[in-house]
Amino acid sequence: MAMERVGYRRLYDAIDCSILGRDEIRVAFPFEDVFQIEIYIGSAPRFGIKTEDNYEYYVHRGVQNNMNISYHPDVTQSSYPRRFFTEITCFQDIEVGEALSEAFHRQDLKARDEVLSLAEQNGDTYRSIVDLISGTIGLRFHRQLVMKLLNENFVALRDASFAIFVFSTPVELLDNVQMSIQGIEQIEQFSSLLPKNGAENELAEQWRGVILGWLMRAWAEQDIISKFNALFTALEMLLKGVKGELSKEKQGYAEAIRELIIAHGSKKQEELLAFFDTLVSNQNPSLMSRFELLAKRADMPTRKTDIEAFRHFKNMRNRLVHQGKNNIQIAVANPTIGDDELYAFEDIVERYISYFLFGNWQIYQSHWRMKPLEPRFYRARLAVSP
């Protein structure tokens, strides 16, 4: 077996930053006896820069994308307008076969891609470590040193050179939308489309603009974690208006306590019962039980799969919020939530908001609603050997 040093690096634009009396700072140190950390602050980052021309986040199906991706080992040769950076790299020595190592060092392209893919397999670990280093720099020195992320790459060292995976910024494919005659007639009678007031939807009346505001934020959001959170917030606000019941188990406990109060409450029986009834009425059903109740009321053909999918996304949200799991990615590199999962969640949120606010699930049609497994997000990847 042979040892190869691979890792993950981030390049930040250190906006309006400089170093007193020096051009650059280089720091290297071992981390947890397994990893090697390199920090560079200055104008000549070790692993160069990727730039993009004619970038637009939204692209159209069937229309050629004119975005150009360029990689420059020497940042001074790039079109990037600023020249001061923070570069953080986390390395690890891994074992590979002798044949793979030999092919990699003679610059075989297939071997290069295979070694870089081995680095990519540990992406979650590397990202977590680099989050720690970057966050510490930002918190202890200044956030502008690590505020604007330019590049993230997997790298593999090779003698006096290196190989690197270069990722483009993600893009989102859009529908080609043309309003039909029926759509024109409906929008001309727009006031008839608005949700009707009613006692049953008391909370929805109060929050319907806010709920739809969070949904629109999710539609426009380009960051995957923020998009997921905005969708979940919209649905969670909606579910506050679902009046559920206590489980049969809890109802049994409540009745047993009520009987004890009646039997032993003596002169304060009425006050104790009133206080206890208030406590019981304030016991809110869980988020999961409220969604199950909403799905039962809506009775959509997809009810069972909607419930299972919501349980999955609720657990994902709990891991993200309560355990700090921030590895929800749409990047090709090591995805944790797939394009199909993201769209499935968006579809659920849209349908149940429509049902709760408007009484039906007559929502816009989309290419991806009909073909949910087709990719909607793309991120190009290039392997480079400078």
How does pLDDT run across 55-106, given as a tens digit for each residue?
Answer: 888 888 777 777 788 999 999 999 999 999 999 999 999 999 999 999 999 9
Burial class for 69, CB neighbours closer than 10 Å (0-12, 13-18, 19+)? middle
Out of 154-168, 175-189, 193-207, pick the least confident: 193-207
Return the beta strands (E) in the chain as ranges: 2-13, 25-31, 35-42, 49-53, 58-60, 68-72, 85-96, 148-158, 161-167, 171-174, 377-378, 381-384
The structure tokens 């947890």 sit at 32
Closest CA to 5 of 137, 126, 149: 126
At residue 244, the pLDDT reads 66
Cβ(227)–Cβ(342) below 8 Å: yes
Dist CA 48 CA 254 (whole Å): 66
Taking 80 as the threshold, does the pLDDT of residue 328 lie above it? no
- Give the tens place of pLDDT for each residue, 7-52: 999 999 999 999 999 999 999 999 999 999 999 999 999 999 999 9
Confidence (pLDDT) at 129: 97
Mean pLDDT of all residues belonging to the chain: 86
* Cβ burial, residue 8 (10 Å; 0-12/13-18/19+): buried
Sheet of 58-60: strand order equals: 58-60, 171-174, 377-378
Task: Give tens-digit pLDDT for 173-189.
Answer: 888 888 999 989 989 99
User: Confidence band (pLDDT; 50, 70, 90) for 283?
Assistant: low
Task: State the pLDDT at residue 332.
Answer: 31
pTM given for the model: 0.78
- What single-letter DSSP state applies at residue 46? T
The whole-number pLDDT of residue 30 equals 97
At residue 62, the 3 state secondary structure works out as coil
Cβ neighbours for 173, distance < 8 A, ≥ 6 positions apart: 59, 60, 61, 375, 376, 377, 378
Nearest CA to 377 among 204, 120, 174? 174
pLDDT score for 32: 94
Greatest mean pLDDT range, 42-46, 179-183, 223-227, 321-325: 42-46
